[in-house]
Amino acid sequence: MELVLDQPPQEVKGGMSGIGEIATDSKQNAIAISHECLKRRSDGQYEIIKESKAGGSGQSQVPVTVELGIRTEDEVEIVSGIEPGERCLKNDPVPAENST
């Protein structure tokens, strides 16, 4: 890939190489989880197994349908289905789909 800078810093010279990341999309205050938490159901929808505090002092595992948003190589945004701070359990990984 070739990069053209309008106002390159003095330290950057023609022909130099480098390593970087290109952000194609971003969102503030998004809920993001590892792909390893997702499970694709036979109907094509995605779900996670959410840890839920059961009555008393125990915890239970509850399957929850989630709506996906922006996806990266490592994480996926959850648009609906869980709230900030809720925890999910890891499953077998689901490969990331290209989001263009």
Got the DSSP string for 40-53?
E-TTS-EEEEEEEE
pTM: 0.62
Of 54, 19, 52, 49, nearest to 34 by C-alpha is: 49
In this predicted model, what pLDDT tens digit does every residue of 36-79 receive, in sequence order?
999 999 999 999 998 876 655 556 888 999 999 999 888 999 99
Cα separation, 38 vs 48, in Å, equals: 5
pLDDT at residue 17 tops 90 = no
pLDDT at residue 80 tops 90 = yes
